[in-house]
Amino acid sequence: MQSNGGVSRFEVAAQAPINLVESGPVGGVIGAAAIGALVGEDNLITLDIGGTTAKASLVERGDVRVTSEYHIERSPLHAGYPLKVPVVDVVEIGAGGGSIAWIDPAGALKVGPHSAGADPGPACYGLEGSEPTLTDGNVIAHRINPEYFLGGRIRLDVERAREALRPIADALEVSVEEAALGVIRIANANMIHLLKLVSVRRGRDPREFSIVAFGGGGSMHATALARELRVPRVIVPPAPGHFSAWGMLASDLRHDVVQTRFVRAEALDRAASDEIWRGLEERLLGTFADERVPPERVTFARSADMRYAGQEHTVNVPIPDGYDPGETARRFHNLHDQLYTFRLSSPIEFVNFRLTGFGTVRKPELARIATNGDGSAARKGVRGVDFDELGRHEATIYERSLLGAGAELEGPAVVEEPAASTVVFPGQRLRVDEYGNVIIETGVN
Amino acid sequence: MAVAPARDIDPFTVEIVKDSLVAIGDEMFVALQRTSKSTIIYEVLDFASGLTDARGQLITQGNGVTGFLGTLTFAVSYTLEKFGADGLAPGDVIITNDPYTGGGTHLSDVSLVVPIFYEDELVAFSASKAHWTEVGGKDPGSWTTDATEVFQEGLQFPCVKLYEAGRPVQGLIDLIEANVRLPDMTLGDMHAQAASLRLGERRFHELCDKYGVDVVLGSVEALLDYGERMTRLELARLPKGVYEAEDTIDDDGIGNGPFPVRVKVAISDDEFVCDFTGTHPQVPGPVNCTLTGLHSGVRTIFKAVTDPHIPVNEGCFRPLKVICPPGTIFTAARPAPVSTYWETMEYVTDLVWKALAPVVADRLPAGHFLSVCGVVVAGLHPDTRDLFLLVEPQAGGWGAARHRDGQQGLMCVGDGETYVIPIEIAEARYGILVDQYALDPTDAGAGRHRGGRGCVRDYRAVADEIYLTATFGRHKFVPWGVDGGSAGSRNEVRIFHEDGREVVLGKCARYRLVKDEVARLVTGTGGGWGDPRERPVEEVIDDVRNGYVSLEQARAEYGVILDPDTFEVVRLERSES
């Protein structure tokens, strides 16, 4: 798996290992795009919540956003390192199940970025970890079933979770239950901020997207985040805890090449542009040949980084085969307007010619699940769950593997599976599609 | 829409609203970056934006250059002073760049201020300050190294309304358009800046809608108190006492100087007082700094010695006091020229730094090259015949710290997160070739830990003629060492003419070079820390092998005489052995 969202053979990958940075999270984004195509949703915000971080990315009209301006380890306090190779644009923050709740020296409650990870893990794991984490908060709020963690293979110690959180409750002069909810609210606020970074900050309205939630904690938090951001729909794919791995299997072979050449648009005709791209195609066909992919299984996508003469920053413009100067200029103006809110009458300049090659490979298909519109068979019981400002409700607990295609249910509910739980808030409706995806309509508008 | 709880604000809501306020500052920053038309804004990030409370106290600020730290407060305070809360209405936008009253630094830095009302009550302000590429004046780009009065430096906006109750004051906008060289860019930036302030206003309203205005204003107070509390905790860890420093500013660019400057820093349990009394009076050339720049310069170093990670707000600066008589080079009065004020503002930061480095050794290294080393190269591109304008800061050497060598090739303190222009881009876009870009090995900055190396960058004219404007401070008075470490080296521009003449200078305006002549830009190496003869011999050998230290410097300053071919030790000249 490569940073650009495609896979590669080992021999080719070994030549330029920088192309593998962040490949794990990228797998999840590619998987989310595949799920989106399956269920007919092409505008997606992906949300991957693990033990230490939460990661988000944007899929727009089915396209995964790839950037050449990616920095690793960049934060407001850290300049990070620019990669300058194509990377799927994943943004991450330090908020996950293992994120540690702490009181800073001035008495403010913080959650993360330090994490207890899986080892020593949250206090409730009963291992070495004794610091209060987001997972401990979720256990105390009854959003996680302590008896059914990893399908019951680990029994969570609620009393240890409460003990770990007590110093925080005492410092803030609230009950342990309130402190637990506070930890969840602050973690959720951090995640809201993350989702805004990939949407609102880039001029996108989250109400026009669906969230695909995965990772061990994605489905636990996504429904609350969707309420807050007024996202109409949340999709939880099958086996969300292992979804990034599935996403890697759903990827094609992919390689990118770039040729920098400064050319004024008016000086570039179709023949000259074709010559540049054909040269790039030759190079990529060579790479694919090394991976034993024959030319007939390779497809290409051309694009160019363009700007107004005199500018420094560029806009990436997709260019169909058969370069049409007028059409390309029109697209450039529109994209520039969308990204930077203005257009100029200045001459346009080409900076980089980019070619992406895809080598199609056989991919696993999601099996259809048996139809069973009656959700009652999956009911496991009822439990009091804290739904924050909506209050504490008796929530119906369901076993996900027993929900058939077509099943529908309403919140307050929790759908449990071995490596994840989906929290359905009062007023939210959940259905299961033919592939076993859980789809929650949040009812907000 | 969720409703604010009726009971007292719970601690979690306060945290969330606090974080939301900080996020608004960031979002305003990104919005302006995204919509500006000037590279100095969207690439160099020479701007700041944020929110203040109804009294003008800074709530949150996003900024690219440290030089703007805390300046928004002054623009808002002056707006309040001039108009009063009653003189402001929803939809107003105020414009100011007056260097001598609140908020101004040089005329290119233009502040806009928007009062935020909620249910007819003035509750906050959004404000931003940005470097406009063109505000008129005698030279293109407006700032220059040889102005003698502010009137040569561009249009002055003396804190006036640009919009009244939502309607643009068209007469003023037409006046701006007629008086700047690139009206499309200038007005574009103006609109972008106003739009980012409206965004801040909208987000603040949304926050009030969601949590209730009382909860938001309560959280603002909590945020300011939080900044103060965190800062005071750090202040308590600083050594109490009075610390002094002196230094000298080279000249004013038009033949006057040098100018002595000084500070006395008094740290007590609850105050951090910087007194600049005794600093040289204002000068005829444009290196004068005014009150806002003085405060920004102090705030930058104050943040560095307390905790730079605490989100910046007015509360952080409550323990800070700045004293300086009027009419000095740090507090110049009208009509002193100010266009290269930043050269002098850097000295404000550096003086306090120099006074405290020996006693706050875990946070402050020795002196660095300090100057922005601003360069403008103009000419006609040989391929397109279009006018090109290269404007860039230079990277240089930072001082050694108590436990490590200095950083090499970084921006100076006042420039924050800005970048040099990559060689490939410089050569493609401007009529120059870059003959070399290297670390500069001048013998300087020796110490137990050595100063980081400055850089040397050669621009060879490819165009028939190019014009160079440069302002390299610390050309005559070099970066300081600590605890026996040697001083660093100077910043300089060295011009190689066709006829073999070599000219060395610190500042120049529109200096002409013809094709194939070379301007060598050299930035200083930082000061060293500790006695060079205590640097382990193996490290000196590595330095010589790596080209960071010459054989001669190894001998003379480190007392290590090496065989020039094998780098084996021939002899040590160190007292302790």
For B44-92, write each residue's pLDDT tens digit: 778 889 999 999 999 988 777 777 877 899 999 999 999 999 999 999 9
For Cα atoms B7, B9, B14, give the angle at the middle one, nearest 5 degrees: 160
> What's the pLDDT score for residue B538?
96
Question: How far is A56 from A212, CA to CA, in rounded Å?
Answer: 10
Rounded Cα gap, residues B107 and B334, in angstroms? 12
- Residue B328's pLDDT band (boundaries 50, 70, 90)? very high
**Rounded to an integer, what distance in angstroms lies between the CA atom of residue A192 and that of residue A197?**
9
Over 90: is that where the pLDDT of B315 sits? Answer: yes
Preceding amide of B365 cis, omega within 30: no
Nearest CA in chain A to B429: A310
Cβ neighbours of B420 in A, within 8 Å: none
SS3 call for A19? helix
**Cross-chain Cβ contact A312/B425 below 8 Å:** yes
Q: What is the pLDDT of residue B5?
A: 37
Over residues A279-306, the pLDDT tens digits come to: 999 999 999 998 889 999 999 999 999 9
Using alpha carbons, select from B516, B500, B510 the residue that is nearest to residue B461. Answer: B516
Q: How far apart are the first and last CA of chain A?
A: 37
Residue whose C-alpha is closest to residue B394's, from B468, B455, B478: B455
- The closest of B254, B408, B414 to B343, measured between CA atoms, is B414
User: What does the angle CA B83 – CA B189 – CA B40 come to, to the nearest 5 degrees?
Assistant: 115
Between chains, do A186 and B12 touch, taking CB under 8 Å as contact?
A: yes
**Mean of pLDDT values over B244-267:** 96
CB contacts under 8 A, B 335-394 vs A, are: 386
| The predicted structure's pLDDT at residue B558 | 97
What is the model's pLDDT at position B3?
34
Percent of chain B at pLDDT > 90 equals: 76
Residue position matching structure tokens 């300058």: A84
Residues of A in contact with B417 (CB under 8 A): 79
For residue A416, list its beta bridge partners.
A399, A421
> Which residues on chain B are in Cβ contact (under 8 Å) with A260?
424
Does B37 contact A186 at a Cβ distance shorter than 8 Å? no
For residue A56, give the amino acid letter.
A
pTM of this prediction exceeds 0.80: yes
Chain B residues inside the 8 Å CB shell of A77? 308-309
Exposure string of A326-351, with b = 16+ CB inside 10 Å and e = fewer, is eebbebbbebbeeebebebeeebbbb
Report pLDDT digits (tens) over A233-262. Answer: 999 999 999 999 999 999 999 999 999 998
Residues A414, A143 contacting (CB under 8 angstroms): yes
- Mean pLDDT, range B379-403, rounded to an integer: 90
- Joined together, the tokens standing for residue A254 give 């992919």
Burial B540-576 (b: 16+ CB within 10 A, else e): bbebbeeebbeeebbbebbbbebeeeeeeeeeeeeee
Could you give the CA distance from residue B125 to residue B200 in angstroms, rounded to a whole number?
Answer: 9
CB A408 within 8 A of CB A430: yes
Average pLDDT over residues A389-397: 91
What is the pLDDT, as a whole number, of residue A185? 93
Helices assigned H by DSSP within A117-239? 134-140, 158-172, 176-198, 218-229
CB atoms within 10 A of CB A73: 8
DSSP bridge partners of B470: B375, B508
Nearest alpha-carbon partner for A303 in A71, A4, A50: A4
Nearest to B11 among A109, A313, A342 (CB): A109
Q: How far is A255 from chain B (nearest CA, A)?
A: 25
Please tell me which residue of chain B has the smallest CA distance to A194: B23
pLDDT tens-place string over residues B521-556 = 999 999 999 999 999 999 999 999 999 999 999 999
What does the pLDDT look like over A210-241, one tens digit per residue?
999 999 999 999 999 999 999 999 999 999 99
Would the CB atoms of B34 and A203 count as touching at under 8 Å? yes
pLDDT score of B8: 65
What pLDDT sits at residue B413? 93
B window 184-213, beta carbon within 8 A of A: 188, 192, 195
| Partner-chain contact B15 A108, CB within 8 Å | yes
Residue B417 is predicted with a pLDDT of 76
CB contact under 8 A, B34 and A106: no
With beta carbons less than 8 A apart as the criterion, state whether A90 and A26 touch.
Answer: yes
pLDDT at B102 over 90: no
Report DSSP letters for B288-327, one per residue. Answer: ---HHHHHHHHHHHHHHHS-TTSPP-GGGGTTEEEE--TT
Interchain proximity B34–A172, CB inside 8 Å: no
* pLDDT for residue A4 is more than 60: yes
CB-CB under 8 Å, B27 with A201: yes
The pLDDT of A46-73, averaged and rounded, is 91
Structure confidence at residue B576 (pLDDT)? 57
Mean predicted confidence (pLDDT) in A201-212: 88
Contact yes or no for B35 and A341 at CB 8 A: yes
- Number of Cβ atoms within 10 Å of the Cβ of A265: 17
Asked if B230 has any chain A CB less than 8 Å from its own CB, the reply is: yes
d(CA B329, CA B348): 10
460-519 in chain B: CB under 8 A from chain A? none
Using CB atoms, pick whichever of B39, B188, B230 lies closest to residue A105: B230
Residues 6 or more apart in contact with residue B12 via CB below 8 angstroms = A109, A181, A182, A185, A186
A106/B39 CB distance under 8 A: no
> Where residue A366 falls among pLDDT bands split at 50, 70, 90?
confident
Angle, CA A294 vertex, CA A288 and CA A296 arms, to 5°: 115
Distance CA B169, CA B173 (A): 7
Region label for B136, one of left (φ > 0), alpha (ψ between -120 and 50) or beta (otherwise): left
Task: Mark out chain A residues that contact chain B at CB-CB < 8 A.
Answer: 76-77, 79, 104-110, 172, 174, 178, 181-182, 185-186, 189-190, 193, 196, 200-201, 203, 260, 262, 309, 311-313, 339-342, 344, 389
Cβ contact, residue pair B15, A109, below 8 Å: yes
Contact (CB<8Å) A174/B10: yes
Mutate: best of A74, A78, A81, A104, partner B, most B CBs <10 A: A104
Please state at what angle helix B183-211 crosses helix B213-235, rounded to 10 degrees. Answer: 100
- R_g over Cα of chain B: 25
- Residue B390 pLDDT: 85
Q: Work out the average pLDDT over B142-146.
A: 89
Reported as a single tens digit per residue, the pLDDT across B166-199 is 999 999 999 999 999 888 888 988 988 998 999 9
Q: Residues of A with CB below 8 A from B20's CB?
A: 189
Contact A196, A57 (CB under 8 A): no
pLDDT digits (tens, 9 = 90+) for B487-520: 999 999 999 999 999 999 999 989 999 999 999 9
Q: At residue A400, does pLDDT exceed 90?
A: yes
- Are A193 and B428 an interchain contact pair (Cβ–Cβ within 8 Å)? no
| Interface contact A190-B19, CB threshold 8 A | yes
Residue of B nearest to A444 (CA): B1
Average pLDDT in chain B: 92
CB contact under 8 A, A182 and B11: yes
* Token pair of B221 as six digits: 């107070």
**Which three-class secondary structure string do you get for B104-168?**
CCCCCEEEEEEEEEECCEEEEEEEEEEECCCCCCCCCCCCCCCCCCHHHCCCCCCCEEEEECCEE
pLDDT > 70 in chain B, percent: 98
Say yes or no for a CB contact (<8 Å) between A200 and B27.
yes
Give the residue from A69, A175, A341, A425 with the most B CB atoms within 10 Å of its CB, the best one to mutate.
A341
Q: What is the pLDDT of residue B574?
A: 87
B417 — contact with chain A (CB < 8 Å)? yes
| Residues of chain A contacting B194 with CB distance shorter than 8 Å | none
Cβ distance of B11 and A172 shorter than 8 Å = yes
Burial B355-383 (b: 16+ CB within 10 A, else e): bbbbebbebbbbbbbbbbbbbbbbbebee
| Phi, psi angle pair for B352, to nearest 5° | -65, -40
* Min distance B538 CA to chain A CA atoms (Å): 31
Which chain B residue has its CA at the smallest distance from A180's CA?
Answer: B12
State how beta strands A413-417 and A392-399 pair: parallel
- Is the previous residue joined to B532 through a cis bond, with omega within 30 degrees of 0? no
pLDDT at B577 over 60: no
DSSP assignment of B478-536 equals PPPPBTTPPP----EEEEE-TTS-EEEESEEEEEEEETT-EEEEE-PPPPPBS-GGGS-
Q: How far apart are the C-alpha atoms of A275 and A281, rounded to whole Å?
A: 10
The pLDDT of B328-354, averaged and rounded, is 97
With CB atoms and an 8 Å threshold, state whether A106 touches B233. yes
Chain A interface test: which of B1, B8, B9, B16 (most A C-beta within 10 Å):
B16
Cβ B319 vs Cβ B272: under 8 Å: yes
Q: How far is B8 from chain A (nearest CA, A)?
A: 13
Q: How would you classify the pairing of strands A420-424 and A429-432? A: unpaired
pLDDT tens profile A316-347: 999 988 889 999 999 999 988 877 777 888 88
Tokens of B216: 């938001």
Q: Which of A79, A341, A389 is closest, CB to CB, to B34?
A: A341
